[in-house]
Chain A
């Protein structure tokens, strides 16, 4: 069994309620921090832990925290990103629904460390019942003196609120989230300034993912060094993986970073292998935005090393032969899957979710969706594949926020690794099942034959 840090107690009945959570060691990190640690010491422990942002970008959390501006007399904010809308990702929902107090304890610790007196948890609107669970847990925490004035007689005050979104993937982008929290349309801001300097209401703000904030609890409890002892290379600690698609056991798994991908897919501890005895065809390893990889490249790197579930190993080979850990949304596809059809759902998604501020993203996502729709309905031409490649290549680096790239990468990777399947689909006007995969090591960056 791999080591569990966040979900060690998730099976305990009633763990979502305060008394059960406390009976199982809950809020001891908060007591320890408020009694015996300074805010700076907490920031140091987080740095030592090597924790990286779990929302997708993997930025070192301790470093992000140390960038926070601290001008006199200006409030600072901690905002938790619980927008979780990247297709294939549902781990934050699980954590909030099962152990809401872990997030709340993490929010109090983070707010204490960063000097925030008011903090918000921004939850996507569709998770309405999850928001209610978190709000009920917050009420319990207030009643027990864990929130509000003079928390545990430490002199530290904190108000914590849930803010609900209303259906917009783009509000997961941190500056769009802040706009939304200010009661506006979720249009990402031009950076700089970064939120650490001018975030919510123009004040210094840290935005972190649910899982990142929750990880602060064990880091304070056991120390940053203990957390850093788990994992591999620069991928420290554990990661929640949302596993879905054609596997025997879909669900949320906490893995020690560094587990081999093959073990993750096939062992009974995790996904339990491919459904109905089928063969594996491809995996989207870190949420819809990251490059899809065919079997050969997801199980092993191009150099033939076993691929591991870690930031470095998944990225090995760059985009030519690698991918990214991203949000940990692990979508598995069996041999009968149409890559074209799957890509169409992604293209439609990004078109639907583009906020429309930048022309390459607004127009490019719409155009790609249209072409894929045409191919899917049997009207594609071989030139369409080159056109798709061309459009996606003109989005990257030309937009205000990374959604444009997130829309381009899946298209690029699908063509890079499965070009022949697109061509077969176009020639036949429908999906052609070919168990042979289209991975060509020699011609990876030049998809045009």
Chain B
């Protein structure tokens, strides 16, 4: 993608973004930056290219650098392309003590990639991340908006298969209801 590419939110996303901006007092619309970067990441292939960040900056009438410096601070924003499903395995204490390392090694072997890499077919990216607040159900991984907990190697295999069949991770955009009951 060249620097000159110009990206724009779809009409639906722009409508959601407008609603978000209305949550803040007059003149404080910059508060919408992080939620809008999430929207941009969801809309533009799971990562924030320069044009994607420019689109957010333009929408909020702020300097592009303000969007870049925020995007680069937060670990959920991908500044490089990622696969359709990013597997984020927790690597902190409770998970590491409960076999998270085995899960990582297993996925590496199964997919033929190392931590931080993406499969050649662009399907999976493997990452390790810090505690996701799921320590009581360790080991665990996050993919898109979903938590997969109490993992075993067998469950991990099943998950990879299911994700491959679905073809993408589920993300929760602001108007997508969650049903857990």
Q: Which residues of A contact B (CB under 8 A)?
A: 13-14, 16, 75, 84-90, 92-93, 97, 118, 124-129, 132-133, 135-136, 159, 161, 163-169, 180-186, 201, 242-246, 250-252, 284, 288, 329, 331, 333, 337, 341-342, 345-346, 348-349, 352-353, 355
| In the bound complex, CA of A245 to CA of B97 (Å) | 7
Q: Which of A126, A161, A168, A333 sits near B133, CB closer than 8 Å?
A: A126
> B94, A244: Cβ atoms under 8 Å?
yes
Q: Assuming A126-B132, A129-B178, A180-B34, is B137 touching A250 (CB within 8 A)? A: yes
> B69, A185: Cβ atoms under 8 Å?
yes
Among residues of B, the one whose C-beta sits closest to the C-beta of A14 is: B181
Interface 9-mer from B3-11, B70-78, B160-168: B70-78
15 more A-B residue pairs beyond the given contacts A87-B130, A126-B76, with a C-beta to C-beta distance below 8 A: A87-B93, A88-B94, A89-B133, A92-B133, A118-B25, A126-B132, A129-B172, A163-B23, A183-B33, A242-B136, A246-B97, A250-B137, A337-B97, A345-B93, A352-B75
Q: Does chain A have a CB within 8 A of B91?
A: yes
* Residues in A whose Cβ lies below 8 Å from that of B18: none
* Residues in B whose Cβ lies below 8 Å from that of A329: 135
* Residues in B whose Cβ lies below 8 Å from that of A184: 30, 33, 70
Q: Does chain A have a CB within 8 A of B138?
A: yes
> B25, A166: Cβ atoms under 8 Å?
no
> A163, B31: Cβ atoms under 8 Å?
yes
> B130, A352: Cβ atoms under 8 Å?
yes
Among residues of A, the one whose C-beta sits closest to the C-beta of B100 is: A345
How many A-B contacts if CB must be within 8 Å? 158
Q: Does chain A have a CB within 8 A of B113?
A: no
> A129, B92: Cβ atoms under 8 Å?
no
| In the bound complex, CA of A246 to CA of B96 (Å) | 12
Give residues 124-160 of B contacting A (CB, 8 Å): 129-138, 142, 145-147
Which A-B residue pairs are the 3 nearest by beta carbons?
A166-B74, A167-B76, A183-B33
* Residues in B whose Cβ lies below 8 Å from that of A342: 93, 96-97
Give the interface centre of B91, B97, B133, B177 by most chain A CB atoms within 10 Å: B133
Chain A min CB distance to B175 (Å): 9
| In the bound complex, CA of A185 to CA of B68 (Å) | 10
Can you name 5 A-B residue pairings with CB atoms under 8 Å? A125-B74, A166-B75, A245-B94, A288-B93, A331-B93
> A136, B31: Cβ atoms under 8 Å?
no
Q: Does chain A have a CB within 8 A of B37?
A: yes
Q: Assuming A125-B76, A129-B145, A342-B96, is B70 touching A90 (CB within 8 A)? A: no
| In the bound complex, CA of A90 to CA of B146 (Å) | 16
* Residues in A whose Cβ lies below 8 Å from that of B28: 182, 201
Q: Mark B19-46, 1 if CB is under 8 A from A, else 0.
A: 0000101001011111101100000000
> A166, B134: Cβ atoms under 8 Å?
no
Q: Which of B34, B69, B137, B146 sits near A165, CB closer than 8 Å?
A: B34
> A75, B34: Cβ atoms under 8 Å?
no
Give the interface centre of B75, B96, B136 by most chain A CB atoms within 10 Å: B136
| In the bound complex, CA of A128 to CA of B138 (Å) | 19
Among residues of A, the one whose C-beta sits closest to the C-beta of B28 is: A201
| In the bound complex, CA of A307 to CA of B117 (Å) | 47
Q: Does chain A have a CB within 8 A of B1?
A: no
Among residues of A, the one whose C-beta sits closest to the C-beta of B146 is: A129
Q: Does chain A have a CB within 8 A of B180?
A: yes
Q: Does chain A have a CB within 8 A of B2?
A: no
| In the bound complex, CA of A66 to CA of B56 (Å) | 39
> A345, B92: Cβ atoms under 8 Å?
yes
> B135, A127: Cβ atoms under 8 Å?
no
Among residues of B, the one whose C-beta sits closest to the C-beta of A165 is: B34
Q: Assuming A331-B135, A346-B93, is B172 touching A132 (CB within 8 A)? A: yes
* Residues in B whose Cβ lies below 8 Å from that of A345: 91-93, 96
> A90, B136: Cβ atoms under 8 Å?
yes
> B133, A93: Cβ atoms under 8 Å?
yes
> B31, A133: Cβ atoms under 8 Å?
no
Chain B min CB distance to A193 (Å): 19
Q: Assuming A136-B177, A244-B135, is B93 touching A183 (CB within 8 A)? A: no
> B137, A88: Cβ atoms under 8 Å?
no
Q: Mark B90-130, 1 if CB is under 8 A from A, else 0.
A: 01111011100000000000000000000000000000011
| In the bound complex, CA of A180 to CA of B34 (Å) | 8
Among residues of B, the one whose C-beta sits closest to the C-beta of A284 is: B93
* Residues in B whose Cβ lies below 8 Å from that of A133: 178, 180
